[in-house]
A and B are shown apart, each in its own frame.
Chain A
Amino acid sequence: MECSKCGAKAVHQTTGQAYCKDHFFDYFETKVFRTIKRYKLISKEDRVCVATSGGKDSLAVLYMTMLYCKKYDIDFFALAIDEGIKNYRDHTLEDLQIFCDTYEIPMTVLSFKTRFGSALDDVQEKAIKEYNKKPCTVCGILRRSLLNKGARELGATKLVTGHNLDDEAQSFFMNILKGSMAHNASLGPMTGLSKDSDFVPRVKPLYFISEQETRLFAFLKGFKVNFNECPNIGLSFRASVRDQLNILESKTPGIKHGLVNSFLQVLPELKEKYKNERDSFQYCERCGEPCSGTICNVCKLEEELCLEVKH
């Protein structure tokens, strides 16, 4: 197949268009920059923190954020979380360090071990056996909390994540299947918006980029990305939804875009409907962090898993 723009050999095909390597880069950059501008994800006054792990999504979003911030002279840095998952995170963090050294990007690493007193590997057995909590649940709560705290401590006004089209389609679909429509009100290109300055707003420049496009971009750019699937992913509900959506996508191309576009059409109504729930946060009685109940999820985990959280 030939590139629709220049006739060279195509490396990527979308609905009605094919792209060679150079035109794929143009397509990718245009789509990401357009998303940033259309949804006002980053402004010139921001100090931008890019949440990154060294995987393909976060390297791609870190690279694109770097291009955007350099173009508009915006302050930015990378923040990585070391959850303590042996033979997984240690490898991706090595790749990330090489990447940041190459592009001279300031980078900070915060670890579960240092900030919560235990690595994920140390507590997951107890979480599963005694509390029926999957590793992804524990990891998600602690990682989200540490990213927000870390970004805040480092003076960030925006937290960039590598969430892509597949991630968003999966989240929307998962919430529907679980009957948790209120959670869908918290999705979108920019989330975590609140009047409380303790929340650093999260933004997703890869919102309209598929997982396959992200990997292609990383491959063609020559980023060192080892395929290294998290050993806990098979246990998650997300993995099941991801597989089912991929099967549907293969039979009916475009369904992921369809899901996300449908979601964006109803998002304003969802935000309005669940406005009170989203705005009525409290502060944790134990640690003072903003949360939806009286005790935040991190403090609940601290008690259950005998963590030693550094507040």
Chain B
Amino acid sequence: MEVYIEKTQSTVLYEKACTAQELLEHLNIIPSTVLIVKNGEVILPDEALSETDEVKLLSVVSGG
């Protein structure tokens, strides 16, 4: 799956079905610091992700 990380403005590929929680752990991202968006819709960390999903991790951190 294609995963866009807003904070670093980068895209990574993850080729394994998993839950969003497992994806965040893999990427070493703290759940409370992002919104998880799967195919345009917000999901919770317990939701399953498949290899064809498009995932965005939107940063929740304040600008400054």
User: Once the chains bind, are B62 and A166 in contact (CB under 8 Å)?
Assistant: yes
Binds B, one of A38-46, A62-70, A211-219, A283-291: A211-219
A229 touching B63 by the CB < 8 A rule? yes
Q: Mark A204-231, 1 if CB is under 8 A from B, else 0.
A: 0000001110111001100000011110
CA distance A216 to B58 in the complex (A): 9
A246 at the interface (CB under 8 A from B): yes
On chain B, the residues within 8 Å of A219 by CB distance are 35, 37, 42, 58
- Given A1-B44, A227-B7, A227-B58, A249 contacting B32 (CB threshold 8 A): yes
Contact of B46 among A1, A92, A212, A227 (CB under 8 A): A1
**Cβ contacts under 8 Å, B59 to chain A:** 215, 227, 229
In the complex, A53 has a CB within 8 A of chain B = yes
**Interchain nearest-CB distance for A139 vs B (Å):** 8
Q: How many residues of B contact A (CB 8 A)?
A: 23
Residues of chain B within 8 A of A242, CB atoms compared:
61
Would B62 and A167 count as touching, CB distance under 8 A? yes
Within the complex, which residue of B33, B42, B46 is in contact with A246, where a contact is CB–CB below 8 Å?
Answer: B33
Asked if A55 meets B42 with Cβ closer than 8 Å, knowing A246-B32, A250-B31, the reply is no
Q: Which of A53, A247, A250 has a CB less than 8 Å from the CB of B63?
A: A53
Chain A residues in 8 Å Cβ range of B33: 212, 246
Q: CB distance B63 to A230 under 8 Å?
A: yes
Query: A10 at interface (Cβ–Cβ under 8 A)?
Result: yes
**B-contact 0/1 string along A242-272, CB 8 Å cutoff:** 1000110110000000000000000000000
Is A57 touching B46 in the complex (CB atoms < 8 A)? Answer: no
Q: A227-B7, A229-B7 are in contact. Are A11 and B42 (CB under 8 A)?
A: yes
B25-61: CB near A (< 8 Å → 1, else 0) gives 0000011111101000111101100000000001111
Does B6 make an interface contact (CB < 8 A)? yes
Digit string of A154-169 for contact with B (CB within 8 Å is 1, else 0)?
Answer: 0000000000101100
Which residues on A sit within 8 Å (CB–CB) of B35?
212, 215-216, 219
CB of B60 within 8 A of CB of A229, answer no
Given the interface contacts A212-B35, A215-B35, A219-B35, does A233 sit within 8 Å of B42 by beta carbon? no
Q: How far is the CB of B21 from chain A (nearest CB, A)?
A: 11
Contacts of B44 in A (CB 8 A): 1, 10-13, 18
A-chain residues with CB within 8 Å of residue B7 when the two chains form the complex: 227, 229
Find chain B residues with CB under 8 A from A164 CB.
62
Establish whether residues B46 and A55, one from each chain, have CB atoms under 8 Å apart when the complex forms.
no
Determine whether the beta carbon of A228 is less than 8 Å from that of B63: yes
A298 on interface, CB distance cutoff 8 Å: no
Shortest beta-carbon distance, B49 to chain A, in Å? 15
Give the CA-CA distance A246 to B63 in the complex, in Å.
Answer: 16
Give the interface of A toward B (CB within 8 A): 1, 10-13, 18, 21, 53, 55-57, 88, 92, 136, 164, 166-167, 210-212, 214-216, 219-220, 227-230, 232-233, 236, 242, 246-247, 249-250
8 residue pairs, one from A and one from B, having the closest CB atoms: A230-B64, A215-B60, A233-B64, A55-B63, A11-B42, A212-B60, A227-B6, A250-B30
Known: A1-B47, A220-B42, A250-B32. 20 other contacts (CB 8 A): A1-B44, A1-B46, A11-B42, A11-B43, A12-B44, A53-B63, A56-B60, A88-B63, A164-B62, A166-B62, A211-B62, A212-B34, A214-B60, A215-B60, A227-B6, A227-B7, A232-B64, A246-B32, A249-B30, A250-B31
